[in-house]
Structure formats: structure tokens, C-alpha cells
Amino acid sequence: MWLDNLVVPSFLQVLEFIGTFAFAISGIRLASAKEFDWFGAYVVGVSTAIGGGTIRDLLLGVPTFWMTNPIYLICSGLALLWMILFGKVLIHLNNTFFVFDSIGLALFTVVGVEKSLDLGFPLWVAVVMGAITGAAGGVIRDVFINEIPLIFRKEIYAIACVMGGLIYGFCLYCGFNIVVTQCISGSVVFLIRLVVVKYEICLPILKHS
């Protein structure tokens, strides 16, 4: 289990659980807007939560992370249960879920970068893998609900992952401790995401030619 490589596993596992839950909720919410049944909503939720890490592991050529521990599938199941029971309550919790989602994004990015570096890949590959871990689940979600992926048009999302990955490399280059590096890198992802949403910062649209 790669989590064994991380310091303070219990705290990180709690964060990872929160991130998985928040990612699954984002998938299930969008699925419910398309009148998916419970099973379909679950598949979209679980794909959002584990899709990025699955693509990363396939590209890195290592065993798929969620097949070593059922916690990810269980966590997505709890997210479905939550939405069935408290779906309407959720409307008032938008900000809370946005924070959770951003925590998930930050953590997934750090995990993706670290796992790639541990396997001996160069930093530029690790940065790409961090972005894929954080953002590819949302792309799969949008393909499943038959929409153009949100992150391609409106949201600065994967850019936050890329910045976090570059900062990760910079901290390592400066000789920082691994825990400090993880905290700084994750915080950068989290803060960029917060600032970007609060000030509605967008990337330029590519003009149609």
C-alpha cells in the first residue's frame, strides 16, 4: 500500500477519505441532474473519485490502487447513501463541499506526484501524473453524463494541480523535508483553487478560426 510511504498515515487517510467522498458526491450530483438511477449514479460517483488515480496507475504500469483496498468503493457507496437520504439538505452545504472537493484535489495531486517520483519517473512526468490524478476523474464523469468536460471550458482546475506539482519539485530541489514539501505543495493547490473561484479567474478562450 503506497500510503505506508507517507508520514502520519492516519491524518492523511482521513483527508483521503474526505477527498474521495467529496469527489464521489460531485459525480453523483451531476448524475442525478440527468435522471440516472442509483446504480448509474454510483458508477459515475466512483469513476469521478477513482478514475484519475486509475489512469495514472495504468500509465505508470503499477497495480491499480483501489484494487488493494475496498475503502474507495465503500466511501463512494456512502456518498450515494448520503445523496439518497439528504440530497435536498446538500443545497445549503455547497460551500462545505467546495472546500472538501478542493482538499481532495490537493491531496490527490500530492499523492500522484509523490507516487510517480517514488517510481523513479522524472519531475515533468510526475507533474502530469499529479494533474491526471486530480483532474481526470472529472473528465470521465463528464463523458459519462454526455457533457463537454467542465475543466476544458470554464474552470481553472488542472492548472492548480500543475502549479502544485511544480512547487513540489521546487521544494525538493531546495532540499526541504518530504512532509514540508507535501504540505506546501498541497496548500498551493488548495489556495489556487480557492482564489480562482472566489475572484472568478478564467483562462482565455481560444478564438474560433
Q: Grid coordinates 489556495 are at which residue? A: 191
- Residue 38 vs 170, nearer CB to a second copy: 38
- Residue 89 vs 174, nearer CB to a second copy: 89
Task: Tell me how many degrees the CA angle 77-81-83 measures, rounded to the nearest 5.
Answer: 115
Q: How far is the CB of 63 from a second copy (least distance, A)?
A: 6
CA-CA distance, 11 to 209, in Å (whole number)?
50
Nearest Cα to Cα of residue 8 among 155, 107, 103, 136:
107
Which residues of the chain form contacts with a second copy (CB under 8 A)? 28-29, 31-41, 43-44, 54, 58-59, 61, 63-64, 67, 70, 73, 83-84, 87-88, 90-91, 121, 124-125, 128, 139, 143-149, 151-154, 156, 158-159, 202-209
- Residue 67 vs 195, nearer CB to a second copy: 67
CB 130 within 8 A of CB 17: no
- Residue 41 vs 106, nearer CB to a second copy: 41
Q: How far is the CB of 207 from a second copy (least distance, A)?
A: 6
Q: Where are the beta strands (DSSP E) in 89-175?
A: none
